[in-house]
Homo-oligomer: A and B are copies of this chain.
Amino acid sequence: MSASTNFHRAFFGKCVLITGGLGFIGSNLAHRLVALGARVTVVDAQIPEYGGNRRNLAGLAGRVRVHRADVRDWPRLPRLIRGQAFLFNLAGQTSHMDSMTDPQTDLDINGRAQLAILEACRVHNPAIRIVFASTRQIYGKPDYLPVDEKHPLRPVDVNGINKLAGEEYHLLYSQVHGIRATALRLTNTIGPRMRVKDARQTFFGVWIRRLLEGEPLEVWGGEQLRDFTYVDDAVEAFLLAASHEVAVGKIFNLGGPPPVTLQRLAELLVEINRGGAFVVRKFPADRKKIDIGDYYADDRLIGRKLGWRPRTDLRAALTKTLAYYRKELRHYL
């Protein structure tokens, strides 16, 4: 039976809550879940510096409930969480640099609010099934490559420390309180609906913007190897995790097609765009301190356990992403 048929069975008519649902991955999840017949509610704080964008739910008017709410606003959580069958928990502060200049805000969103969400689930909806968006950032600078789930956790910035705490809360609540949760450790995810206005979500976003605006891309460093998950593949992983009991209490890496250097990525992008240029720059000192060098994930565990694999090759991912922003760029500036 195909994954799509199984997904239809798992999610059709089900109540699903997506925190950070106006954001990049959250909104792509919302589109897919609506197509599967789920009853989707989206929560997003719509903080201007973050990934939330109303345009991300274009075409879903009347088919998704949207609440403008901040996960730090605890009193609102119980009402949002009651009655939901699934929670895709993607609300987060994602900027590494911001976490260093404003560590308390990062902790409030990535740590404190996560605990509040889990407490609300424990008290008001202990049968809920949660998939939490964690991050490769918690590994820090790799000891070896590819990085598997057993790699030591040594976050190199406040964001990594707090995301690690957030992940650990989810697994602890799963183990001790029986709140069934899975954590996915995402690597760089790319695709339509990502923030491209600036480099707050990922450097890749602003590359897309600059390329389409005819400006040269800035490649910092350039030799670092990285892997890239296309967003449809990431969405597939969230749905697989949520619909498999074997995933409860587990952590899985997501990876992508074979890793490339950032310079190679820039070359590919310019080539696919049939035009553009990039300049290679030395790392700024403050960024260098929290950079992790090469990273790519060993994602064989989720392959074995849930049958996931990254299906979209890098060229296709870049082509689709560029095509989206050629039409949509003005809604993302």
A binding-site residues for B, Cβ under 8 Å: 100, 103-104, 107, 111-112, 115-116, 119, 150, 152-153, 155-158, 161-162, 164-165, 168-169, 172, 175-176, 289-290
Contact = CB atoms under 8 A, between A and B. Distances in A.
Contacts of A175: 156, 289
Given A104-B115, A112-B104, A165-B111, A172 B158 contact: yes
In this complex, the member of A107, A116, A155 whose beta carbon has the largest number of chain B beta carbons within 10 angstroms is: A107
Nearest to A103: B115
Nearest to A168: B161
Contacts of A155: 168, 172
21 contacts: A103-B115, A103-B169, A107-B111, A107-B112, A107-B115, A111-B111, A111-B165, A115-B158, A150-B152, A155-B168, A155-B172, A157-B172, A158-B169, A158-B172, A161-B165, A161-B169, A161-B172, A164-B164, A164-B165, A164-B168, A176-B289
What's the number of copies of this chain in the assembled complex?
Answer: 2
Nearest to A162: B165
A132 to B, nearest CB: 14
Given A104-B116, A111-B111, A115-B107, A290 B161 contact: no
Contacts of A116: 104
A212 to B, nearest CB: 34
Nearest to A108: B112
Contacts of A156: 172, 175
A289 B115 CA distance: 19
A119 B104 CA distance: 9
Contacts of A172: 155-158, 161
A48 to B, nearest CB: 24
A104 B112 CA distance: 7
Nearest to A118: B103
Nearest to A286: B176
Nearest to A290: B176
A154 B323 CA distance: 44
Contact of A165 (B119, B165, B289): B165
Contacts of A158: 115, 169, 172
A263 to B, nearest CB: 26
A-B residue pairs, 10 tightest by C-beta: A161-B168, A165-B165, A176-B289, A103-B115, A161-B165, A107-B112, A107-B115, A104-B115, A111-B111, A161-B169
Nearest to A106: B115
